[in-house]
Structure 1
């Protein structure tokens, strides 16, 4: 069995974990708060081998993609199986790797790519989160005057 899902893969396979990431990246990207329930989620569990084979013959891969856009002061967010052309950078993201593909007004198309699963990636993420919490509290602590 190939894969890096949790012991209970439901959140990964049904797109819930990706939806959580979309909520966070939407806030960081657009400075807009959205709730998990605001993200339209369709998991990949109903994608069949036949679907994958047809996509392959047409030159595509099926990837579970989380997406958010900001238009007219509104965030639209979704997670769903998506056809990605094999020539697109996102098609090469496999196994324990994750990617964030950003289309920005000033920078154009940019992709951030790296390990997103496994013990080292998880440990690194935990340490990073702890450092961010510490920096937040350090920057927001003020002493009272004597």
Structure 2
């Protein structure tokens, strides 16, 4: 499939830490099938952090959304908790601690990232996303 064609995938996942591995492997397959293997390593890291946060810090279901449009890969995670994500801390404050590095990694590796609250059909939640430009990863 040519890189100039737009596409989007959504993967709905349960609140289960095993969903992080399923999401990461599915993302690898999607990018490989679309000829975007050069983005896989960074995209997997970003998706892992976003989905991990959605699963670890909320109680409900979650989803991974992957979209390619105009040479930009957008990776996002939806969860049912409307509370904003904790702001990323600088790496020098995180140190060796396991928790608290996720969004700092996203901020460091993505071209841009953000979040938005969502409300639809009585359901609330948030969508945390990041973008990778194809040229940046080439």
Q: TM-score range by the shorter chain?
A: 0.3 to 0.5
Which is greater in Rg? 1
Q: TM-score of the superposition, structure 1-length normalised? A: 0.33
- Superposition TM-score, scaled by structure 2 size: 0.34
Structure with the larger RCO, 1 or 2 (CA within 8 Å, 6+ apart): 2
